[in-house]
Amino acid sequence: MEDMHIHLKDAIYDQSKFDMYVKKCIDVGIKKAVFLDHGNRISTKHIPVLSSKEAIDQFNKKIIRFRESKMSKEIEILKGIEIDYSNDLDFRSKTFKILKYGQFEWIVGAIHSIKFDNYSQYLEAILDMLNNYEINVIAHIKKTDEYEKYKDLFTKILKLCSKKNIAIEINTSDRSRWSDKQLYYMLELMENNNVNFVYSSDAHRYEDIGYMIRETKGKVEKWKKNK
């Protein structure tokens, strides 16, 4: 089982908490995980975590220590970051500097705190993100009851993902988990466009690591068998 989106928050600075996160992953059966937190943030209400050299250096030390420990034989952990999309060039420049310094192994691209007039504008912003940011995965594509209306835009996004080898996140948090119908719809589109996906709890608390991943994976496997 994998969980490719786990927020560390103050565990970036606290070794004992970091080790607790690792142990929790192992206890719930996760074999591959991405530890991360937010870099530069759009919203001034949200405090960035991985936005300074000090924070990144602390993160690096804990990843190195983990890889030298016995626990590294039980689970693979990638050093990640979640970055905010913006069309502001100054904001982008600051983000790119963080990415260059951090040398992250897994970059999660996400859209936060931007208001759109409609869902089409939101999907167009994802396309712009794909064209201007070096990322590994698109995080938590928003839920909508009208997903079928946007097949053309979804297809554009997925074709670009396929070309750039960028995955789609199947987010299992209560905030972002798709309905079963939207999940199956997206699985069909991803398969048709040769796009990979990953499972992510998007845990912001220690207790939520691995949340609903096993259940969601079961639905995906059942969908594949019934095709």
Select from 216, 161, 136 the least CA-distant residue to 184: 216
pLDDT at 130: 97
d(CA 202, CA 55): 20
161 confidence band (pLDDT: 50, 70, 90): very high
DSSP symbol at 208 = G
Which amino acid appears at position 25 of this protein? C
Res. 227: pLDDT tops 80: no
Domain map (residue ranges) of the chain: 2-222
Residue with tokens 């250096």, as numbered in its chain: 57
| pLDDT tens, residue by residue, 48-92 | 999 999 999 999 999 999 999 999 999 999 999 999 999 999 999
Report the top-level CATH class of 2-222: alpha beta
pLDDT at 128: 96
pLDDT at 79: 98
Select from 95, 150, 106, 158 the least CA-distant residue to 127: 158
Mean pLDDT of 193-216: 96
| pLDDT tens, residue by residue, 110-155 | 999 999 999 999 999 999 999 999 999 999 999 999 999 999 999 9
Which positions ≥6 away from 168 have C-beta within 8 Å? 137, 138, 141, 158, 161, 186, 190, 195, 196, 197, 198
In contact, 169 and 137? CB cutoff 8 Å = yes
d(CA 191, CA 121): 24
88-106 exposure pattern, b = at least 16 Cβ within 10 A, e = fewer: eeeebebbeebbeebebeb
Select from 78, 81, 70 the least CA-distant residue to 23: 70
Backbone Cα Rg of the chain: 17
pLDDT at 226: 85
Res. 44: pLDDT tops 90: no
pTM assigned to the model: 0.95
